[in-house]
């Protein structure tokens, strides 16, 4: 019999092994575990009607991501895309294995693997909801640090690309986030040009 609680617990158990650390509510915790909690919180807050497959995809979006470091690939766009492709395949495979152990069907595991691989974006409602949540989590928790590490022109370009990935509802939710003044300014620049 399928059990979402056991699936989420297993995802958490894996992500708690991340040696990289990040503060979460004042506590030093494993980075990908923090990311998975933020994804779940954002999903529950903005799409409380999400079905369990979407909840699993949100929680497992970056499962065990640290085992494939970005610096193992060329530091250009081609290298970035190769890295992302490898990650998506790994995330889908890990989630498939976990879900099968807990009674989910092949069709259900394929749906989750497709969600984390960003297949059918803009044509599948759940794929779009997941992408909205990915973008919201990035903007709320990771954007300011990202912006400090890159030239403004690149940051504005990334914001434009992020915005294009979001649904109209996702864009509305993004505008309601409490963001830093710098983030608000850069978003304004991205949307006005």
Tokens of 84: 């992302």
Among 70, 41, 66, CA closest to 55: 41
Which residues are bridge partners to 23 per DSSP?
28
Q: pTM score, two decimals?
A: 0.94
Mean pLDDT per 10-residue interval, the chain, length 193 residues = 93 98 96 98 97 98 97 94 96 98 97 95 92 97 95 94 94 95 94 85
Nearest-10 Cα torsion for 163, 83, 57, 120: 60
Asked whether 54 and 64 are in contact (CB, 8 A), the reply is no
Residues contacting 16, CB < 8 A, separation 6+:
30, 33
Strand ranges inside 25-125, DSSP E: 27-30
Q: What is the pLDDT of residue 23?
A: 93
Please state the separation of Cα 177 from the chain's center in Å: 17
Q: What is the pLDDT of residue 121?
A: 83
What percent of the residues of the chain are helix, what percent strand, and what percent coil, each to the nearest 5?
A: 70, 5, 25
Q: What is the pLDDT of residue 124?
A: 93
Q: List the chain domain ranges.
A: 1-119, 127-193
Tokens of 10: 């297993």
How many other CB atoms are found less than 10 A from the CB of residue 156?
20
């Amino acid at each position: 019999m399928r059990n979402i609680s056991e699936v989420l617990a297993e995802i958490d158990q894996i992500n708690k092994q991340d040696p990289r650390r990040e503060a979460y509510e004042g506590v030093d915790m494993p980075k990908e575990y923090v990311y998975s909690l933020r994804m779940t919180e954002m999903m529950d807050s903005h799409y409380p009607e999400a079905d369990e497959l979407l909840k699993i995809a949100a929680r497992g979006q970056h499962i065990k991501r640290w085992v494939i470091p970005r610096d193992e690939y060329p530091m250009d766009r081609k290298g970035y895309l190769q890295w992302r492709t490898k990650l998506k395949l790994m995330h889908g495979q890990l989630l498939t294995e976990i879900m099968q152990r807990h009674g989910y069907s092949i069709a259900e595991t394929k749906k989750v693997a497709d969600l984390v691989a960003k297949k059918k974006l803009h044509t599948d409602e759940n794929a779009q909801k997941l992408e909205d949540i990915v973008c919201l989590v990035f903007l709320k928790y990771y954007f300011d640090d990202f912006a400090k590490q890159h030239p403004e022109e690149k940051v504005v370009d990334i914001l434009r690309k992020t915005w294009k990935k979001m649904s109209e509802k996702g864009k509305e939710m993004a505008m309601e986030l409490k963001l830093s003044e710098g983030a608000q300014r850069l978003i304004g620049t991205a949307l006005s040009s």
